[in-house]
Structure 1
C-alpha cells in the first residue's frame, strides 16, 4: 500500500509536465528548474519513509480525498496554463500587427490626427507590457504554488497522525484560497486584455476613417491642381497664339518692305557684279598659271640644253623644235579656249540680264499678291477676333454645364472638342 501511495504523485507530476506544449518551453524555463528541484527533493524524501502502519483505512480515505483535490487543482492549473499560452500568442500577434501598422503610419501619415493616435497606441503598448509583466509574475506564483502543493503533498505522506493531516489540510485551504485569488486576478487581467483589444479595434477603425478622409482630401487637391494646370496651359496657348500672329504680321510687313526698297535696287546688281568679278579673276588666274607653267618649262629646257650641248645636239635640237611646235599649238588652243570662254561669259551675262528683267516682272506680281494677302489677313484677323469673342462666351457656358473631360458638342454647324483642358473648334 505504501508503494502505491508513493507512485501516485510521481505519475501525476509527469503527466503535468508532458501536457505542456513543446513550442512554449521558453515561457516555462523557471518552472522546469523548480520541477527538477522538486523531483530531487522527492527522491530524497521518499528514502526510508512511511514506516508507520497505524490507521491505514482512515489514511487511505483522507489520501484519496486529497489526491482528488490535487487532481482537480492540477487540471485547473493546466487549463490556466493553456489559456495563458494562448493569450501570449494573441498578445504577440497583436503586437506584430500593431508594429506593422505603426510603421506604415510613420511612413504615410504626417497629420495631427496620426500623431495623437500614435501617442494613444504607445500608451496602450506600455499598458500591454505592464500586463505582460503581471502575467509573468502570476505564472511564477502559480509555478511556486504548484511546487508548494507537491512539496506539501509529499509531507502529507510522511505524517501518519490525524493532527498532522489537519495541519496539511489547513495549508491546502490557504493554498486554495491563494489560487482562487490568482484565478480572480487572472480573470480580471483577461477582461482587461479584452477591453484593450476592443480599444485597439476602435482605434484601428478610427485610423481607417482618418486615412479615408486623408485620401479624399488628397484626391480633391489633385483635382484642383489638374484644373489649375489646364488653365495655365490655356493661358500659355493663347499668349503663344497671339505672339505668333503678331510675328507673322510683322514678317509680312518686313518682306514687303525688303522687296519694295532693297531687293529690287541692289541685290541683282550686286549679283551681276560679283559674277563678272569672279569670271575676270578666274581668267586672270588661269593666264597667270599658264604663264608660270610655260616659263618653268622653258627654263628647264634651257638648262637641259645648256647641260647637254656636247651630246647629240642635232637630235636634241630636233626634239626641242618639236616640243616648241607642240607648245605653240597648245598656246593657240589655249587662246582659242580663252576666246571661247569669254564668248560664253558674254552669253551668260546676257542670259542673267534677261533673267533679271523677268524677276523684276515677277517681283511686281508678288507685290500685288502681298497686298492682296495683307488685305486678306486684315479680314481674317477681324473674323478671328469675332470668333474668339464667340468662343469665350461659348466656353463660359460650356464650363458651367460640362465637365473638363474630353467630349464633343455640335451647335449651329460649329464643332467644339475638349481635350486635356483645351478647346478645339471646327467650322
Structure 2
C-alpha cells in the first residue's frame, strides 16, 4: 500500500493549449485584456507616426519588440486565466464526486449494516486512493499555476519597468541634451549676430564720417588751388599790363618832347585816346577769353576729380553693399535653420511625451492585471486550504463513524500524515 501511494506523486498532470476552451477564456478575461486589441491598434498607430519622422530606426525596433513582448504577455495571461477556470471546475467536480460518494456510502452503510468489515475496508481504501490521486493532481496543478504566475510576474516586471523606463529615460536624456546644445548654439549665434550688427553700424558711421571729411578736404583743396591759380594769372597779367603802360607812356613822353606844335599835340592825344580805347577793348576781349578758358579747365578738373572720387567711393560702396547682402543672407539662413530646428525639437518632444504618457497608461493597466491575478491566487490558495481542511475533517469523521467496534484495533493501525503538502496513508 505504501509503495502504491508513494508512486502516485510521480505522476504529473500536463495541461495543453488544446484542452483550453475559448469560452472560458472570454469568461475570465479581465477588462484590460479585453481592450488588448485596442491597445495593440494604438501602438501600431504610434509606430506609423514614427515612420514619418527621420533617423528613428532604433526607436522603431524597440517599439516593435515592446509590442511583441506585450502581446506575448497578454496571451500568457489568457492561458493562465483558462487554467484557473479549469482548476475551479475540477475542484467543483471533485467536491461533487466526493459528496456523492459520501452520500452513496452512507446509504450503503445504512442499507447494508450486515456486510463484512473487509468489504468496507477495501471500499474505503479505494476511495482514499482515488481521493489521494485527485488531491495530488490538484496540488501539482496548483504548484504549476503558482510557478507560472511567479514566472510571468517577474517577466512583466522586467519588461515593464526595466526596459520601458530605461528606454524612455534614455530618449528623454538624449532629447534634453540635444535641446541644451541647440539652445547654446542659438545663444552663441544671437550673440555673434548682435556683435556683427554692432560692428556693421560702427563701420557705417565711420564710413559716413570719413566720406564727409574727405569731401570737405577735397572741396577746400579745390578752392585753394583755384584761388592760387587765379591769383598767379592776375599777377602775371598786371605785370605785363604795367610794363606795356610804362612803355607807351615813355613813348608818348618822347613824342611830346619832340613835337612842339600844339596841333600835333592834339592829334597825338586823339590818337592816344583811340589807341587806349582799342587797347582796353582788346584787353577786355583777352580777359574774357582767358576767363572762359580757365573756367573750362576748372570744370574739366572738377569733373575728373569727381569721377575719380566717385569711382573710388563706388567701389568701396559696392564692396560694402556686397558684404551687407551676404550678412543679410546669412542672417536669414540662420533664422530659417533655427526655426526649423525648433519645430523639429518641439515635434520630437511632443511625440516622446505622448509615448511616455501611453506607456504609463499601459503600465498602470498591467499593474492592475497583476493585482487581480494576485488576488485570484490568494483566493484560490485560501479555498484550497479550506477544502483540504474539510477533506481531512471528513476523513477523520468518516473513520470515527464508520468503524465497527469489533475491528477497532485494525483501524487504529491506519496512519494519516502530511509531508510537503501531500497526504500519505500507512497501514
Comparing 175-184 with 232-241, greater Cα deviation is found at 232-241
Tell me by how many angstroms 1:356 deviates. 142
Comparing 141-150 with 81-90, greater Cα deviation is found at 81-90
Tell me by how many angstroms 1:405 deviates. 164
Tell me by how many angstroms 1:187 deviates. 1.0
Q: Aligned equivalents of 1:423 and 1:235: distance in 2?
A: 150
Q: Is the 8 A contact 1:414 1:426 kept in 2?
A: yes
Q: Is the 8 A contact 1:415 1:426 kept in 2?
A: yes
Partner secondary structure for residue 172 of structure 2:
helix
Identify the residue that residue 236 of structure 2 maps to in structure 1. 236
Tell me by how many angstroms 1:242 deviates. 0.7
Distance 1:286 1:115, change over 3 A: farther
Count of residue correspondences = 427
Q: Which runs of 5+ in 1 are unaligned?
A: none
What TM-score does the superposition give when structure 1 sets the normalisation length?
Answer: 0.23
Distance 1:421 1:110, change over 3 A: same
What TM-score does the superposition give when structure 2 sets the normalisation length?
Answer: 0.23
Q: Is the 8 A contact 1:417 1:425 kept in 2?
A: yes
Tell me by how many angstroms 1:193 deviates. 1.2
Tell me by how many angstroms 1:208 deviates. 1.9
Distance 1:391 1:113, change over 3 A: closer
The CA deviation string for residues 83-129 of structure 1, in whole angstroms up to 9 with x for no partner, is 99999999999999999999999999999999999999999999999
Tell me by how many angstroms 1:229 deviates. 2.8
Tell me by how many angstroms 1:225 deviates. 2.2
Q: Aligned equivalents of 1:97 and 1:358: distance in 2?
A: 49
Quick check: 1:281 aligned with 2:271? no
Comparing 124-133 with 415-424, greater Cα deviation is found at 415-424
CA RMSD of aligned residues (A): 61.2
Distance 1:394 1:364, change over 3 A: same
Distance 1:161 1:259, change over 3 A: same
Tell me by how many angstroms 1:154 deviates. 28
Distance 1:303 1:404, change over 3 A: farther
Q: Is the 8 A contact 1:259 1:363 kept in 2?
A: no
Distance 1:184 1:199, change over 3 A: same
Q: Is the 8 A contact 1:417 1:424 kept in 2?
A: yes
The CA deviation string for residues 172-209 of structure 1, in whole angstroms up to 9 with x for no partner, is 32122122112111111211210121122122222222
Q: Is the 8 A contact 2:416 2:425 kept in 1?
A: yes
Q: Aligned equivalents of 2:369 and 2:384: distance in 1?
A: 22
Q: Aligned equivalents of 2:164 and 2:49: distance in 1?
A: 16
Q: Is the 8 A contact 1:42 1:154 kept in 2?
A: no
Comparing 132-141 with 28-37, greater Cα deviation is found at 132-141
Comparing 369-378 with 182-191, greater Cα deviation is found at 369-378
Q: Is the 8 A contact 1:407 1:417 kept in 2?
A: no
Distance 1:51 1:194, change over 3 A: closer
Comparing 290-299 with 197-206, greater Cα deviation is found at 290-299
Distance 1:39 1:360, change over 3 A: closer
Identify the residue that residue 227 of structure 1 maps to in structure 2. 227
Comparing 241-250 with 104-113, greater Cα deviation is found at 104-113
Comparing 370-379 with 249-258, greater Cα deviation is found at 370-379
Structure of higher RCO (CA pairs closer than 8 Å, 6+ residues apart):
2
Partner secondary structure for residue 44 of structure 1:
helix
Q: Is the 8 A contact 2:415 2:426 kept in 1?
A: yes
Q: Is the 8 A contact 2:417 2:424 kept in 1?
A: yes
Q: Aligned equivalents of 1:2 and 1:412: distance in 2?
A: 16
Q: Aligned equivalents of 1:301 and 1:231: distance in 2?
A: 18
Tell me by how many angstroms 1:235 deviates. 1.1
Q: Which runs of 5+ in 2 are unaligned?
A: none
